[in-house]
Structure 1
């Protein structure tokens, strides 16, 4: 009781302070906003007091309508005429509130919470006593509902969707015919699943109604396993927020903001190219049909705005009853709509639909819900000997009975079935629409309670005919040796192998000829076997995980190293033994012309075996200590060619080229290449030293020396160049292959 007295005193002080500046009484409502002011009070010339033999008792309702202002939802322009119609219909019913009629005093709240607070104190402290407050605009309802509970006043909202208003501990006396904004979220999540989208982005205006809606959407998405890529907020200028969406490659975007800010967002989306076949926008469904048309100060043309809004989806609770059934007012929803259009033409003198046109059925049903609840409360109180008009701001009993009656209220209104949850929220279906060529097409309805999505028509997708992807699709392609190149070079290597086998056969057949015997035939056999091994490795270097199982790629890596290393030791080792013995024989001949030492086969085998054993030791240690593994490296990105027959896409995609290679510890490469390098350099030295030597016992020593020059030069070029062109798979394969072929030839 003490707190209420203090509140009364504070209220009076505020009213005195704001005075004529903030307190809007009916006569002060701007005429341009209300061409025909409609004020239901004792002095109003338009009062609907019914002429009866016995005077009727007025039940006063305080009304707050957002009529004018610079921001927020100004839906009072379209909702107040609907409230006028409802009051006329309710007060003309003798069976409803017998002995009473409803009187409403409207005020312009401008969708401003500060002004609404001052107007509430004016309504409370200026007689007559108000039995209820009717409010629109979420930020206004949040302010007055939090205060009104201290006066046991029920606040009824016709145009407030903030999820915060569902908080019963904070707003215990609040009810509304406009469903909570969170009713959109289950519908959105259902559509995300329907179109197989797993990633979305959210952009919202920094208002409590939108912040709480966005948080609930994030929660719903998390439950459904859908990723929220980002949530960006803006206060008045959305340019930075829209740029952030573009930077993060947002494709499925949920926009939550008032209609005025929606124009700015979509204009900026046009500038950032966030529209077209690969983007889908979800907006609120309670904007006016032509909300996107440019206004003064918007730096976009009508054609540009039409481009960016084309194909976007909207979700909104059912506003107008779909059935042709008779409502509680005795008329169908369509008949009511026709009457409402007539009222707008009378008030505005034009067919232009004012802001709040969409919510007008909710405002109309709000009065009916209030009237039916007060009617039920009146009968309950009458049985207890209490008159409903005895309500005062300290009478909690009557307020509680009104709330109980509202919870039990159920009727068919022009906006559909009207019933409320324990939190005071409206229970309703959600309708889904899509903009096509500047007009909204009805797609279907979603029943949250039954999780039932019913389609009225199919969505239309720009150009593609199917839903776009929720992100830039990365098409990974492994860079491999082209098949034609692989076959061609392997065919050349096969010819070399056949030629080597032919030479082996030739040497064996003519092994008894003196000319063949003088060329050290054993070394020739070993050299040709080494050539066959090196040429065979060409096949291994052309294989990849698309030609063999990826799990076997590491075996391929080891096989390449073993085959090429051992074959090189056989091939180059055989030539090395020839120049080595040529060098020894030449020096022996210089020391003693009588020397007739012969080259023993055992010495050849021993030397070549030594080279191979060193290879085996290095490779064994390598594979045991640090075996090679398959890795892929990301290379350049490039746009997908829409005409590429191998990649069927209907959305923007990128190809990421990947290079597959064998990865090993660099130390082992250094050991192996170091050993081979020393062998090459020593062989080069011996070939140089024996360049002018002519030996009958080694008649091909000079040709062997030339071959060593060829091998050393090609190996010295191939090593560095192959590292440079490693990303060019075909060129890399060709360079290594030609080196092997020329060395073996």
Structure 2
């Protein structure tokens, strides 16, 4: 038992530096001597780790203690921002270390690695930073995926994480990332700008396509909430992991117009290569992209795509980007005593003349520069509070929460002017800044405005340019266009109807004038008069049938509907009813076999008139009930959308006004059923009386022929309409095709050649046939392979007995006297009995030594 000098159990006077946040007290050692030795070594290690920068002569004015910053700069990968951000951070460190009013007793040193913007690589580098001396007081990761990993683990070591290039909204979660700060604002700061632009250009329907990473998923979730509050709909939402081809095709298929793209720069080239292939660009489309890509990102040759630079330039023209203001537009000297233009000049000098457009992270370089300054000012602010508590910055270790808390408070209250603008952090540690709006015009980005989301202020330059006449519509604009009866057709038919009415009046006048003539008397002139009146009424119905919204006001249209119904219904009942009465009377009188034929042949005219009156009364009663119970009203019917002849981003929605009622089909069924029975009965009676000859009604054969004509005319039209795939094509032939087509097409063209629905249907049918053909070819191939397999199995089954006999003969000749085959076979498992000869001295198989027993293994 280890005791101290006074005989008591020793207290843990020192703790080893923690591994994964678990301290190791030294009194757990097994013996006193070992404890004292370990204490001495640990104390020495503590001094070396924390005080190795303490100057041997404290009176020297140039002597400074070093504070180390562990940084991860992505020099390659999805976002190679370290190419410009690392020189900018080193510029800031040089200026800070030369200042006498900021951390005068300390020197900041940067220990950096290339994370390649890869979380897996960053995990290894984070381990090296934490478990390789010296101790780092702050960690500085770059891209969002790496920052997510580092910031979530850093709290276990009580480390502040300060990022210069992370925009993931998920990093604003203080419960998950309690010590995280960033000079790059959250990506959600783009969303208020996007919503404001949607409202400015009058868009209420957008589409999105995203790379499936946390930063873009959380950004899109935030955008979805914001657009829903603004009354904007996300109609299409597509995502992809590595290949965006299917997602872009779906955007095209679902008629996406205003598209928000969220992906890294390398994936952006893949997306727009597919955009070029699908023709998802031009005057009908607007793309919203992230603004932190390199200015020439679409001109960089990428072996992962098969599009030329010209193709990419054509596809990306006119897209809009939103980016945080990363360079102060005003000439202001901030904490570093440099203006933004002076900073750019020094950065260009440090980059050695590299093209900024080809240098990754050039736009974010001011953020890295200000990140170092924000950290230096915060550390400088903690010196006095820590001294009051008896601490110094060099006392920091991974188990010291007090120093971390002081640094956190100093960063949280930071506020200074940097080269990127005013630097201040919100409660989640994210930078608050303006948003820059740019548009690609002629292959280069042009500033078109700024947006301050905190105040809702949009500063607009008014220099936005569009490929078309202006901002495109968020969807295909549908123009509703009422179609009216062709006026030429209406006039021509009305002329013929008028001539028919005139002829009916002439016939009626002639019949009345010559009613005393015996020949006319024997034809029942009163029924003939009814037929003429019925024909006149039916022909008069042509006029209200041709009247539409072009001639009368919408409120007067129900009256036109009534005229159509009553004129046509009563006209048919009078015209056909009188002919039906004649043929029915002839059949009744001259087909009965009774003894008193002469008496039966006496014609009583009042019965004929009564029959017509009954038929007419049935019509009147049914029409009255129809109009009282379910009156006719105007109904607007929509036809299939059509594309205009000109290259316009619109579709024509043809509309047709016609008369209808709630139970139109029921009423038409009653009327058509009643009149259809009369028509069938009339045909039957005309056939039955074709051989009868009588002087009482001397025109009954002509009446029979008239009934046949009525039947043929009605049934031919009915079957033509019913046999047509689209019954309304009969009506569409009668309506105009619009102002953009000639009137010759009005009467001859029966359908739209630009029917989008039909084109889609035909395209799907073609794809279906192609897939069926492929499936059929695959099935044939499978059948062929199965047949080959069956043939080989049959061949093996035929050869196996003969080969086995040969093997038995050869083995019997070569067997030594002491060989026992039964014993050998029993010593091996059954599964190896057929393949025991497979392993020969040569060590491989050939055609000459391929044994039949090895075939199952070779074909397996």
Which TM-score band (shorter chain)?
A: 0.7 to 0.9
Q: Is 1:67 aligned to residue 75 of structure 2?
A: yes
Partner of 2:46: none
1:192 aligns with one of 198, 201, 213? 198
Distance 1:163 1:587 in 2: 97
CA contact (8 A) 1:480 1:730 kept: no
Q: CA deviation at 1:114?
A: 3.0
> What is the 5 A alignment of 1:150-229?
150-229=156-235
2:359 aligns with one of 342, 354, 361? 354
Partner of 2:708: 709
In structure 2, relative to structure 1, the CA distance for the partners of 1:123 and 1:702 (3 Å cut) is closer
Q: CA deviation at 1:675?
A: 3.1
Q: After superposition, give the CA deviation of every residue in 1:447-488 in whole Å (9 maximum; x if it has no partner).
A: 1011111112332111x2111122233445555532321232
Partner of 2:323: 316
Q: After superposition, give the CA deviation of every residue in 1:696-740 in whole Å (9 maximum; x if it has no partner).
A: 554544443443332233223232224345323458769xxxxxx
Distance 1:713 1:692 in 2: 21
Q: CA deviation at 1:403?
A: 1.6
Q: Is 1:454 aligned to residue 459 of structure 2?
A: yes
Partner of 2:138: 132
In structure 2, relative to structure 1, the CA distance for the partners of 1:401 and 1:594 (3 Å cut) is closer
Partner of 1:737: none
Distance 2:285 2:374 in 1: 41
2:546 aligns with one of 539, 542, 546? 542
Partner of 1:426: 431
Partner of 2:31: none
- Is the deviation greater in 156-165 or in 587-596? 587-596
Distance 2:637 2:615 in 1: 35
> What is the 5 A alignment of 1:295-374?
295-345=302-352, 353-374=358-379
1:283 aligns with one of 280, 286, 289? 289
Q: CA deviation at 1:423?
A: 0.8
In structure 2, relative to structure 1, the CA distance for the partners of 1:43 and 1:308 (3 Å cut) is farther
- Is the deviation greater in 603-612 or in 519-528? 519-528
CA contact (8 A) 2:15 2:23 kept: no
Partner of 1:527: 531
1:7 aligns with one of 20, 30, 53? 20
Q: CA deviation at 1:552?
A: 7.4
1:572 aligns with one of 537, 553, 576? 576
Number of residue equivalences: 688
Q: After superposition, give the CA deviation of every residue in 1:155-202 in whole Å (9 maximum; x if it has no partner).
A: 110011110110011111111110101111111111111112222121
Distance 1:385 1:78 in 2: 40
Distance 1:411 1:482 in 2: 75
Partner of 1:120: 126
**SS at structure 2 position matched to 1:53:** coil
Q: Is 1:435 aligned to residue 440 of structure 2?
A: yes
Partner of 1:243: 249
Structure showing greater Rg: 2
Distance 2:51 2:470 in 1: 61
- Is the deviation greater in 168-177 or in 508-517? 508-517
Q: Is 1:486 aligned to residue 490 of structure 2?
A: yes
Q: Is 1:381 aligned to residue 386 of structure 2?
A: yes
Q: CA deviation at 1:590?
A: 12
Q: CA deviation at 1:90?
A: 1.6
Distance 2:149 2:593 in 1: 115
CA contact (8 A) 1:480 1:729 kept: no
CA contact (8 A) 1:481 1:730 kept: no
Distance 1:54 1:304 in 2: 59
Partner of 1:17: none
CA contact (8 A) 1:589 1:595 kept: no
In structure 2, relative to structure 1, the CA distance for the partners of 1:589 and 1:60 (3 Å cut) is closer
Q: CA deviation at 1:220?
A: 1.2
**SS at structure 2 position matched to 1:322:** coil
Partner of 1:738: none
- Is the deviation greater in 469-478 or in 391-400? 469-478
In structure 2, relative to structure 1, the CA distance for the partners of 1:54 and 1:461 (3 Å cut) is closer
Q: CA deviation at 1:684?
A: 3.5
Distance 2:356 2:601 in 1: 121
> What is the 5 A alignment of 1:70-149?
71-149=77-155
Q: Is 1:469 aligned to residue 478 of structure 2?
A: no
2:240 aligns with one of 220, 224, 234? 234
Distance 2:90 2:52 in 1: 17
Q: CA deviation at 1:82?
A: 0.4
Distance 2:144 2:384 in 1: 32
> What is the 5 A alignment of 1:479-628?
480-509=484-513, 511=515, 516-544=520-548, 560-582=564-586, 599-619=603-623
Q: After superposition, give the CA deviation of every residue in 1:650-706 in whole Å (9 maximum; x if it has no partner).
A: 425465677967475656545433432332344344445555666555454444344
In structure 2, relative to structure 1, the CA distance for the partners of 1:360 and 1:524 (3 Å cut) is same
**SS at structure 2 position matched to 1:327:** coil
In structure 2, relative to structure 1, the CA distance for the partners of 1:520 and 1:126 (3 Å cut) is same
Partner of 2:789: none
Distance 1:588 1:137 in 2: 105
CA contact (8 A) 1:57 1:99 kept: yes
**SS at structure 2 position matched to 1:728:** helix
Partner of 1:677: 676
Distance 1:473 1:2 in 2: 73
CA contact (8 A) 1:277 1:651 kept: no
CA contact (8 A) 1:199 1:227 kept: yes
Distance 1:691 1:124 in 2: 114
Q: After superposition, give the CA deviation of every residue in 1:258-293 in whole Å (9 maximum; x if it has no partner).
A: 111110111111112211111111111000011012
Distance 1:594 1:115 in 2: 119
Scaled by the length of structure 1, the TM-score of the pair is 0.84
**SS at structure 1 position matched to 2:578:** helix
Scaled by the length of structure 2, the TM-score of the pair is 0.73
Partner of 2:728: 727
Distance 1:682 1:519 in 2: 21
